[in-house]
């Protein structure tokens, strides 16, 4: 933003080979992102929201009412989106023309991959009437000269899966992407697929899935980006693997299993390639991201931070049913003395389909710096393992992949992790163990407090799901939970009630810290209010902090002041209750 009115976002170009003036290409009223330069250098494409005229009113009291016709009309961190859909725009790179909307209308679009001849782009979108019910996400080729008639829009895939993060081959003939072919469940190891760019309505069986030799997810939370082509026969992409996140080489004909190009206790959180050179961004638990080129570290921006951080030790514990082993980690506290004991904080991640692992995690660092032993692990239901691991806690009534449901083997695994740590590491004080988690981890905190409270001294339930019934109709992803539990709350309310930890409130007798954001649309603040009222009516020990102006991402991208206050609240509270 340079000298424009407040709220505008501006796009600029500037010369890099010689001195010169910065040139303003365009100004957009509602932000812009996902910038992509056309291969011929003439065009810049980007994604921006197209606002309804109601947003031009001088204040909300003058805005027309919203007519809501679909689910998923409001998104955490974005607010209302159905009346300001994300569209693909294109503008001349020399700044000689106004931005042109290639995808006008009601549908949302995400991602931009230019065709090799610069005649159009490939983007992902849900451009069909039942998108909010079947949740199918397709790849589309959009011509550069498309207009509102949509004659220049061609669907590549068949509406039978979730296909996204596209990348066009050097010769322009094929598109690689990441996705899965069954929208009945969210917990899936997403794969790398390939299709010809001239395909029309190709179904999942016509897609060449080239990553199936590695049963891990290629949709990585720490590197949400498309595959990158090395040449017309190979490409690279990252996959999660038991806490690590490595870069893999894949053959485009699927003739060989994916081959790891990196190794060790690291997370590759960014990558690109050009002219035979591969650049990666890598991080570890002790060091934030640094740039590597062909395995040689080229930056040392985080040396000062790394000198003050703590490492951790990985260990495994068996599942209680003997079916597998669980990955876990322990971090020793500041000024560690092997001869003494320390209070312990057990962290449980959200998701549930994600993983803890070998990346810089500020939560663990601050807890260790405050004098706590930090324990965390990846129970069943998470990512980074084989597909059956992720599916294990789908609902028992799930039509595609029935599992044991939330609050079953995942709870067993969490308890196995803390028991394994206490048994293995004598510096852990068994009498001073606290537990905390956010979102699904908050669900676990409330569940453990009600069902296994005698195992812990205190709990922190943050941005939690406490009542699955009300969560299913109030969340910004309302109706998604059927994909996890197998039935909707209107089909089987008892299934949702049985897995709602707030029903155990009467059994919670350990101190509970509740933290929630007032603009959290993923897990609306009523989830916290219901738990707080239930505990207070029963005279239970509970503290409740509400953060104004924050959403579900408070701990990750909240305001600096609020993030500091949240950290202080958590550390001070556990210091008091685990003394």
The span from the CA of 461 to the CA of 573, in Å, is: 13
Q: Is 19 a residue whose pLDDT tops 90?
A: no
CB neighbour list of residue 96: distance below 8 Å, 6 or more residues apart: none
Do 445 and 461 contact (CB within 8 A), yes or no? yes
**pLDDT value at residue 389:** 98
Q: Work out the mean pLDDT of the chain and round it to a whole number.
A: 96
Q: Name which of 336, 381, 322 is nearest 355 in CA terms.
A: 381
Closest CA relative to residue 193, chosen from 157, 159, 220: 157
Could you read off the pLDDT of 491-501 as tens digits, one per residue?
999 999 999 99
238-243-248 Cα angle (round to 5): 20
User: Which one, of 220, 216, 251, 222, lies nearest residue 236 by Cα?
Assistant: 251
Q: What are the residues whose beta carbons fall under 8 Å from the beta carbon of 314, sequence distance 6 or more?
A: 243, 265, 327, 328, 329
3-state secondary structure of 304: helix
Alpha carbon 575 to its chain's center? 30
pLDDT in tens, 494-520: 999 999 999 999 999 999 999 999 999
Rounded to whole angstroms, how far apart are CA atoms 103 and 49?
11
Place of tokens 């039978």: 160
Residues in the chain: 579
Helix axes 409-424, 440-451, angle to 10 degrees: 80
For residue 18, name the pLDDT band (cuts at 50, 70, 90). confident
> In percent, how much of the chain has pLDDT > 90?
96
Helix axes 362-369, 560-577, angle to 10 degrees: 50
pLDDT digits (tens, 9 = 90+) for 177-207: 999 999 999 899 999 999 999 999 999 999 9
CB-side neighbour CA atoms (13 Å) of 513? 24
Average pLDDT over residues 160-174: 97
Counting residues of the chain whose pLDDT is more than 70, the rounded percentage is: 99
Res. 6 pLDDT band, cuts 50 70 90? low
Q: CB under 8 Å to 482, separation ≥6 — which residues? A: 472, 488
Listed in sequence order, the residues at least 6 apart from 546 whose beta carbon sits closer than 8 Å to its beta carbon are 516, 517, 518, 525, 528
pLDDT, one tens digit per residue, over 377-392 is 999 999 999 999 999 9
Q: Tell me the HSE value of 441 on the side-chain side, using a 13 A CA sphere.
A: 26
Beta bridge partners of 259: 249
The span from the CA of 360 to the CA of 445, in Å, is 23
Q: Could you report the per-residue pLDDT of 201-260, keeping only the tens digit for each?
A: 999 999 999 999 999 999 999 999 999 999 999 999 999 999 999 999 999 999 999 999
Query: Per-residue pLDDT tens for 268-321?
Result: 999 999 999 999 999 999 999 999 999 999 999 999 999 999 999 999 999 999
Among the listed residues 420, 411, 349, the one whose alpha carbon sits nearest the alpha carbon of residue 383: 349
Q: Which single residue is written with the structure tokens 């490492």? A: 311
Arithmetic mean of pLDDT, 338-363: 97
Is residue 512 within 8 A of residue 540, CB to CB? The reply is: yes
In 10 A of CB 184, how many CB atoms?
A: 15
Structure tokens, 112: 């931009």
Q: DSSP labels for 365-384?
A: HHHHHTT-EEEEE--TTSSS
Nearest residue to 176 via CA among 151, 157, 149: 157
For residue 4, pLDDT over 50 is answered with: no
Using alpha carbons, select from 399, 559, 533 the residue that is nearest to residue 466: 533
pLDDT at 349 over 80: yes
What local confidence, expressed as pLDDT, does residue 305 receive?
Answer: 95
The mean pLDDT of 90-105, rounded to a whole number, is 95
Phi-psi region of 250 (alpha: psi -120 to 50; beta: other; left: phi over 0): beta
404 vs 393: CA distance, rounded Å:
5
8 Å CB contact between 496 and 405: no
148 pLDDT tier (thresholds 50, 70, 90): confident
Residue 149 has a pLDDT of 84
């Amino acid at each position: 933003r340079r000298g424009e009115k407040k709220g505008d976002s501006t796009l600029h170009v500037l010369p890099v080979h010689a001195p010169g003036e910065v040139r303003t290409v365009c100004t957009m009223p509602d932000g812009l992102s996902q910038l992509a330069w056309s291969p011929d250098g003439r065009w810049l494409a980007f994604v921006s929201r197209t606002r309804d005229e109601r947003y031009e009113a001088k204040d909300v009291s003058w805005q027309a009412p919203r007519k809501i016709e679909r689910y998923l009309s409001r998104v955490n961190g974005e607010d209302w989106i159905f009346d300001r859909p994300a569209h693909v725009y294109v503008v001349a790179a020399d700044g000689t023309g106004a931005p042109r909307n290639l995808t006008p209308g009601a549908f949302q679009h995400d991602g931009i991959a230019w065709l090799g001849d610069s005649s159009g782009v490939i983007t992902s979108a849900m451009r069909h009437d039942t998108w909010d019910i079947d949740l199918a996400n397709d790849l589309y080729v959009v011509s550069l000269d498309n207009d509102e008639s949509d004659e220049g829009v061609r669907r590549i895939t068949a509406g039978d899966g979730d296909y996204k993060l596209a990348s066009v081959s050097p010769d322009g003939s094929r598109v690689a992407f990441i996705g899965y072919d069954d929208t009945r469940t969210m917990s899936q190891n997403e794969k790398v697929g390939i299709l010809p760019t001239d395909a029309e309505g190709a179904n999942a069986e016509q897609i060449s899935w080239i990553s199936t030799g590695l049963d891990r997810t290629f949709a990585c939370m720490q590197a949400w980006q498309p595959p990158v082509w090395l040449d017309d026969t190979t490409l690279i992409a990252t996959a999660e693997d038991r806490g690590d996140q490595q870069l893999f080489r894949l053959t485009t004909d699927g003739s060989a299993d994916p081959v790891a190009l990196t190794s060790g206790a690291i997370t590759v959180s960014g990558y690109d390639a050009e002219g035979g050179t591969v650049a990666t961004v890598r991080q570890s638990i002790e060091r934030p991201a640094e740039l590597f080129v062909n395995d040689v570290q080229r930056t040392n921006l985080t040396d000062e931070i790394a000198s003050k951080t703590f490492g951790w030790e990985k260990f495994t514990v068996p599942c209680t049913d003997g079916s597998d082993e669980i990955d876990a980690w322990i971090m020793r506290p500041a000024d560690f003395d092997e001869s003494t004991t320390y209070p312990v904080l057990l962290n449980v991640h959200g998701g549930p389909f994600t993983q803890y692992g070998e990346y810089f995690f500020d939560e663990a660092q601050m807890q260790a710096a405050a004098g706590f032993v930090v324990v965390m692990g990846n129970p069943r239901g998470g990512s980074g393992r084989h597909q059956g691991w992720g599916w294990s806690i789908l609902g028992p009534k799930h039509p595609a992949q029935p599992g044991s449901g939330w609050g079953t083997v995942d709870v067993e695994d969490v308890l196995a992790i803390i028991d394994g740590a206490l048994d293995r590491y004598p510096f852990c004080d068994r009498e001073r163990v606290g537990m905390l988690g956010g979102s699904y981890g908050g669900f676990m905190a409330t569940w453990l407090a009600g069902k296994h409270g005698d195992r812990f001294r205190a709990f922190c339930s943050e941005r939690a799901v406490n009542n699955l019934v009300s969560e299913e109709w109030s969340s910004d992803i309302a109706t998604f939970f059927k994909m996890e539990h197998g039935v909707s709350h209107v089909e089987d309310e008892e299934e949702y009630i049985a897995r709602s930890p707030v029903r155990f409130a009467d059994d919670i007798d350990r101190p509970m810290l509740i933290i929630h954001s007032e603009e959290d649309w993923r897990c609306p603040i009523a989830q916290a209010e219901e738990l707080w009222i239930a505990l207070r009516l029963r005279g239970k020990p509970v503290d409740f902090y509400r953060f104004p102006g924050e959403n579900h991402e408070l701990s990750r991208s909240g305001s600096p002041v609020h993030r500091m206050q949240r950290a202080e609240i958590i550390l001070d509270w556990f210091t008091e209750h685990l003394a």
